[in-house]
A and B are shown apart, each in its own frame.
Chain A
């Protein structure tokens, strides 16, 4: 069965530190990949997505992610985090196919806390 793994459940960083959150999926076919962010008390919002083309995707607020097909990974990175990046981050994968066969699968989330 398809699945999405986020191995870091809790990450604590100081401001200006670099961030990398891992995301691995298990599915042999074509996928679309997403990172969503959920700020405290808010709903999920799209951070960035990859459908095709350049595997290095740039999103909002200085975030980027790299799709490495051979590793089934889509890790999220930011060179220098800010206190305002404190949030829950969710990786998600959608598989392709006719309605009724495709899936939209979320990882379990990574809670990032940035210390001022």
Chain B
């Protein structure tokens, strides 16, 4: 069984469209993340949710809106897509360990977004 799954795997769309990427984890973790990886492989955290609450919201355009309906899901909705949004988006999850630190992150397979 896939621990962290994302859909779709590939997404090709026109500028100006609105799209969503879904993420689900079956690990029972309490924290989920969205990352953006650009063409240079830089990995940038976008959002982090702990028990459905937003805890990290880095400098990301407000066209990006995460939604966490429950602990196991963290979806990413993107409005008015722009060329610069083309990237690979990774979802991840982890569990808070003893002492309040985050433990190993488990990553989804990624969603390759291409905006034309």
Contact = CB atoms under 8 A, between A and B. Distances in A.
Contacts of B43: 44, 90, 106, 109
B90 A100 contact: no
Interface stretch (B12-20, B71-79, B97-105): B97-105
A53 interface: no
Interface in A1-54: 30, 32, 34, 36, 38, 42-46, 49, 51
Contacts of A36: 105
Contacts of A45: 107
Interface in A92-111: 92, 94-100, 102-104, 106, 108-109, 111
B55 A108 contact: no
A46 B107 CA distance: 9
A71 B69 CA distance: 43
Given A99-B55, A109-B42, A32 B90 contact: no
A100 B45 CA distance: 14
A42 to B, nearest CB: 8
A102 B94 contact: no
Q: Is the interface of A mostly helix, strand, loop or mixed?
A: strand
B105 A44 contact: yes
A64 interface: no
A88 B88 CA distance: 14
30 contacts: A32-B102, A34-B105, A36-B105, A38-B41, A42-B109, A43-B90, A43-B107, A43-B110, A44-B43, A44-B90, A45-B107, A46-B106, A49-B104, A51-B101, A88-B41, A92-B105, A94-B103, A95-B101, A96-B99, A97-B101, A99-B100, A102-B101, A104-B45, A104-B48, A104-B94, A104-B102, A106-B43, A108-B42, A109-B42, A111-B41
Interface of B: 33, 41-43, 45, 48, 50, 55-56, 90, 92, 94, 96-97, 99-110
Interface of A: 30, 32, 34, 36, 38, 42-46, 49, 51, 88, 90, 92, 94-100, 102-104, 106, 108-109, 111
